[in-house]
Amino acid sequence: MNQNTIVQTPHPTFVSPNKTLNPEVPSDWTHVGRAAPHVKVELMFALKQQNIDHMKSLLERISDPDSQQYGKYLSLEEVASLVRPSELTQKVLGSWLQHHDVQNCQTVVSQDFLQCAVTVEVAETLLQGSEFHYFRRDDQSLVRSLALYSVHEDISQHLDFVGGVHRFPPKKQEVAKSLTSRGPAEAGFHLGVTPAVLRERYNLSASDVGSVENNSQAVAQFLEQFYHPADLAEFMSLFGGGFQHLSTVDRVVGTQGGGKAGLEASLDVEYIMSTGANISTWVFTNPGRHESQEPFLQWMVLLSNMSSVPWVHTISYGDDEDSLSTAYMMRINNEFMKAGLRGLSMLFASGDSGAGCRHLTKENVFRPSFPASSPYVTTVGGTSFKNPYKVTHEITDYISGGGFSNMFEMPDYQVTAVNSYLKTAQSLPPNGYFNASGRAYPDIAALSDNYWVVSNRVPIPWVSGTSASTPVVGGMLALINDQRFRKGLSALGFLNPRLYKLQGKALFDVTEGCHMSCFDELVQGQGFCAASSWDPVTGWGTPNYPEILKAMLDA
């Protein structure tokens, strides 16, 4: 699911966003006019953090099951003390804002974000060269600047980026888009994926449900996506028989919008709660309708300011790497590291565009997605049943996102597995299409094809996408946490180092099929193909729950 992530950045000298990221007005947005000087906008200042290298090495030790520090997570306050900006950074930024009479600011425990409400007049003074205008799409309005801006180097050296300036959220997309590309005739052969089908395929028994009080899981919703409690109750009444479950969300963080439920949100909630059954579930809802701020960034800041949050988070959200600034992605990586230090497992959908395709002037290249390409999250790909009539072994889902980052180096935990794939794969795309030294994804997969979902009180078949597989894997990780807590063990936290040490044991290897990519003469719509062990379409494969539980119950 290709949704929205946002931001533009200062760089270390006189600052303006990278020239390759000149803001443009998307075709679905209409320019209304210049924003009046008194109009309020919200700017998010990301202050330079300290001890980033130490944070990275500490996360590696905490996440390595062979390390004596494995599972010894930090509290929010301890993480904040580690990364808190220097006194000089806080003083310089504070004086700068105070000089421009900026007073309405909120910060977080770690003091590395400042969210300030300012007038357009003040914003244009702070960010020299910016010029804010009104834009409209349907009933949604937005205030953005199309002009590149600068910040004096005395200030910019203390900033990672400024949010709320340039980026336009894309038009909302539903996971049901996959239905139109597959066609109902093909999908109709299969009776559809339900919680019972998932439990049969991944060997979860009726007793594989949550039972401890200190366990929790969460989904995050963006871009005007909301779930309806009545849909969840209806879904569980239709499909929740045979195992103990909850039919209500324990906590909603944020404000649920009115109107129709979103298919994406319904899918996420219904399948994390039916797989991670009987486990307390939170929903973080981020409407994304505010005129000035970006929902994904708001969610990240919110997590940085809550001392008690769920252990597993699944997010069906991403954007093309090349549409984002380097400084923004590097900073978001830091936020993922902070989450890992606290023992949180962050799962992202790999996307529904296969390897993707970026059309350059003289050539095409594959198009990786972020945050799926972050080295500090667990990315989930998608599969389909080989035989549409039966619960059989799985093959690749051709939409399953995967590939190699153009931004991040391959992390140590996956070097051996990925290099083995690159050396032994029977057919690889030409080298010019991908960065073979980049972070490779996905890490794991699950069924992503032909789900039943209840939305707006109507059972809907044929819903497909990695937005389906991600909450399924998240629910299983929450079940494993449940069993670990019963034994007095820590939460799984950042999963990847441990997952790659398994070398595919306890997972169903997916070895058939390829995903889609550029439709040109060289690759003819084919990206990467599945292979034995790890591959950039389905990762290590799909979970065999009893076996992966056994493997993950070691201290």
Residues identified as active-site:
264, 268, 467
Contacts of 57 (CB under 8 A, 6+ apart): none
Q: Which two tokens stand for residue 118?
A: 């300012």
Identify the bridge partners of residue 473 per DSSP, sorted by sequence position. none
- In this structure, the chain runs to a length of 555
Other beta carbons less than 10 A from residue 167's beta carbon: 25
Instruction: Give me the half-sphere count of Cα atoms (radius 13 Å) on the Cβ side of residue 340.
Output: 27
Q: Parallel, antiparallel, or unpaired: how do β-strands 312-315 and 217-222 relate?
A: parallel
Q: Which residues of 404-433 are buried (b: 16+ CB within 10 A; e: fewer)?
A: bbbbbebbebbeebbeebeeebeeebeeeb
Contacts of 341 (CB under 8 A, 6+ apart): 55, 58, 59, 62, 73, 74, 78, 79, 82
Distance CA 32, CA 488 (A): 59
Q: Which two tokens stand for residue 383?
A: 């599969």
Return phi, psi of residue 299, to 5°. -65, -45
Q: Which residues of 7-35 are buried (b: 16+ CB within 10 A; e: fewer)?
A: bbbbbeeebbbeeebebeeeeebeeeeeb
For residue 145, give the 3-state DSSP assignment.
Answer: strand
Distance CA 141, CA 148 (A): 21
For residue 284, give the 3-state DSSP assignment.
Answer: strand
Return phi, psi of residue 22, to 5°. -55, 125
Task: Taking each helix axis as running N to C, give the angle between helix 76-83 and helix 52-63, from 0 to 180 degrees, rounded to the nearest 10.
Answer: 140
Give the closest residue to 474 by CA, choosing from 382, 371, 347, 343.
347
Other beta carbons less than 10 A from residue 203's beta carbon: 15
Give the closest residue to 279 by CA, choosing from 238, 241, 248, 315.
248
